[in-house]
């Protein structure tokens, strides 16, 4: 099957050359691997929620205290 061999080469090329979440999302979409696409989307959401709790929430509380806008 030449199609399957081509897909394996694309996946191996992606893994060996380094990749990010965007590449995984793109290749999952191109290969119609919806489980991969949904998995990457979940990882992106989790990273966003963690960044919000660690970085943005403390900064927002600081600014509300600093300017006295009443948010505790």
Average of per-residue pLDDT values in the chain:
80
Residue 72, in any domain of the structure: no
Contact between 31 and 9 under an 8 Å Cβ cutoff? The reply is no
For the cut 50, the answer to whether the pLDDT of residue 23 exceeds it is: yes
Q: How confident is the model at residue 43 (pLDDT cuts 50, 70, 90)?
A: very high
Neighbours of 12 (CB within 10 A): 10
Owning domain of residue 39: 2-67
Instruction: Provide the number of structural domains found in the chain.
Output: 1
Contact between 24 and 40 under an 8 Å Cβ cutoff? The reply is yes
Residue 11, in any domain of the structure: yes
Task: Indicate the pTM of the whole model.
Answer: 0.62
User: What pLDDT shows up at residue 6?
Assistant: 54
User: What pLDDT shows up at residue 1?
Assistant: 45
């Amino acid at each position: 099957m030449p199609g399957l061999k081509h897909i394996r080469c694309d996946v191996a090329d992606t893994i060996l050359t380094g990749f990010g979440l965007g590449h995984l999302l793109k290749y999952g979409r191109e290969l119609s691997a919806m489980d991969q696409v949904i998995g990457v989307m979940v990882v992106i959401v989790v990273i966003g929620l963690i960044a919000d709790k660690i970085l943005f929430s403390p900064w927002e509380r600081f600014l509300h205290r600093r300017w006295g806008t009443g948010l505790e």
